[in-house]
Amino acid sequence: MNYWLMKSEPDEVSVDDALAAPDATVPWTGVRNYQARNFMRDRMQVGDGVLFYHSSCAEPGIVGIARVVSACRADPTQFDTKSPYFDAASTKDAPRWLLVDVQVVKKTRTLGLPELRATPGLEDLLVLRKGNRLSITPVEPRHWRLILALLDQQPT
């Protein structure tokens, strides 16, 4: 099993939006970075754990625990001319962009960047690296366990 931190802007898809969706499941559309796409394509598997992270908001941080619930497939937004994620160079025969479905298991308190940075053992968590702007990053099992322990210490 692998673990991931997946960023979403809450104005696009929040943890509450995901929880309100059928089966608390949302397609993870709009990934437009090749390295993040390759993580989905080459390494993500059904059942992998996900830290649902709100970005580009007043209080960025982990806001939920989720899991990958589908295999990787073409992101339909790349073919939709009305979508901000439209990609004229992508074709249905050779799609450039992919998605997986993510199911929220539990909404948590916000575990923000200051707390993540101050927690011993998380110093090398990828989301904390200066200049890291990837929307999907792998999470080491030791980081996953530590973050879950931090979240369980507080009421949700």
Strands (E), 9-121: 25-27, 49-54, 61-68, 73-74, 98-99, 101-112
* pLDDT of 14 above 50: yes
Task: Answer for the pair 7, 136: CB distance below 8 angstroms, yes or no.
Answer: yes
- Residue 130 is predicted with a pLDDT of 87
Domain layout of the chain by residue ranges: 3-152
The string of pLDDT tens digits covering residues 33-88 is 999 999 999 999 999 999 999 999 999 999 999 999 999 999 999 999 999 999 99
Find out whether 18 and 66 touch, Cβ atoms under 8 Å.
yes
Check whether domain 3-152 has CATH 3.40.50.300, yes or no: no
pLDDT in tens, 88-137: 999 999 999 999 999 999 999 999 999 999 999 999 999 999 888 899 99
**Predicted TM-score of the model (pTM):** 0.94
pLDDT of 4 higher than 50: yes
What pLDDT is recorded for position 135?
Answer: 95
pLDDT, tens digit (0-9, with 9 covering 90-100), for 16-29:
999 999 999 999 99
Beta bridge partners of 112: 61
